[in-house]
Amino acid sequence: MRTRLLRYFIRFLGILPLPLLGAGGRFAGWLAYRIPNRELSNARTNLEMCFPDLSAPQREDLLRATLKENAITLLEMPAVWYGDTDAWLQRLDTGSVPDDIRRLMQRGKGVVIAMPHLGNFEISAHFFGAIGKATGLYRPPRKEGLESVMLEGRNRPGRNRMVATDRQGIKALYQALDKGELIVILPDQQPKTAKGGGGVFAPFFGVPALTMTLVNRFARKTGAPVYFIAFVRTGAKPEYKVVGLEADQAIASEDAEEAARALNAGVEQLVRQFPQQYQWTYRRFQAQPDGVNPYKKS
Q: Is 112 helix (H, G, I), strand (E, B) or coil?
A: strand
pLDDT at 84 over 80: yes
Residue 114 near residue 156 (C-beta atoms within 8 A): no
Please give the pLDDT value at position 158.
Answer: 61
User: In the 8-state DSSP scheme, what is residue 278?
Assistant: B
| Torsion over CA: 101, 105, 107, 111 (sign) | positive
298 pLDDT band (50/70/90 cuts)?
very low
In this model, does residue 149 exceed pLDDT 70? no
**CB-count exposure of residue 202 (10 Å: 0-12, 13-18, 19+):** buried
Cα 163 from Cα 157, distance rounded (Å): 16
Cis peptide before 289 (omega within 30 of 0): no
Q: How confident is the model at residue 8 (pLDDT cuts 50, 70, 90)?
A: confident
pLDDT in tens, 204-225: 999 999 999 999 999 999 999 9
Max CA pair span of the chain: 53
CA dihedral 214, 121, 123, 68 (to 10 degrees): 170
Q: Are 110 and 180 in contact (CB under 8 A)?
A: yes
Report residue 148 CA to chain centroid gap.
19
**Mean model confidence pLDDT for the chain:** 91
- Other C-beta atoms lying within 10 Å of the C-beta of residue 14: 18
User: Mean pLDDT throughout 133-137?
Assistant: 89
Please state, for a pLDDT cut of 90, what percent of the chain lies above it: 75
Q: Is the pLDDT of residue 4 over 90?
A: no
| Mean pLDDT, residues 267-277 taken together | 98
Nearest to 117 by CA among 39, 186, 211: 186
Spatial CA neighbour of 188 closest among 177, 176, 199, 197: 199
| Residue 148 predicted with pLDDT over 80 | no
CA 23 – CA 19 distance, rounded (Å): 6
Share of the chain above pLDDT 70, in %: 90
Query: Residue 20 pLDDT > 90, yes or no?
Result: yes
Name the band, by pLDDT with cuts 50, 70 and 90, for residue 248. Answer: very high
Stretch 126-155: mean pLDDT: 74
What is the DSSP secondary structure assignment for residue 252, as one 8-state letter? G
**Mean pLDDT, rounded, for 263-281:** 98
CA nearest neighbour of 114 among 255, 204, 208, 219: 219
Give the integer Cα–Cα distance in Å for 206 and 183.
Answer: 28
Give me the half-sphere count of Cα atoms (radius 13 Å) on the Cβ side of residue 182: 30
pLDDT digits (tens, 9 = 90+) for 157-216: 566 788 887 889 899 999 999 999 999 999 999 987 666 568 999 999 999 999 999 999
Position 237 scores a pLDDT of 85
pLDDT confidence tier of residue 132, bands split at 50, 70 and 90: confident
pLDDT band (50, 70, 90) for residue 253: very high
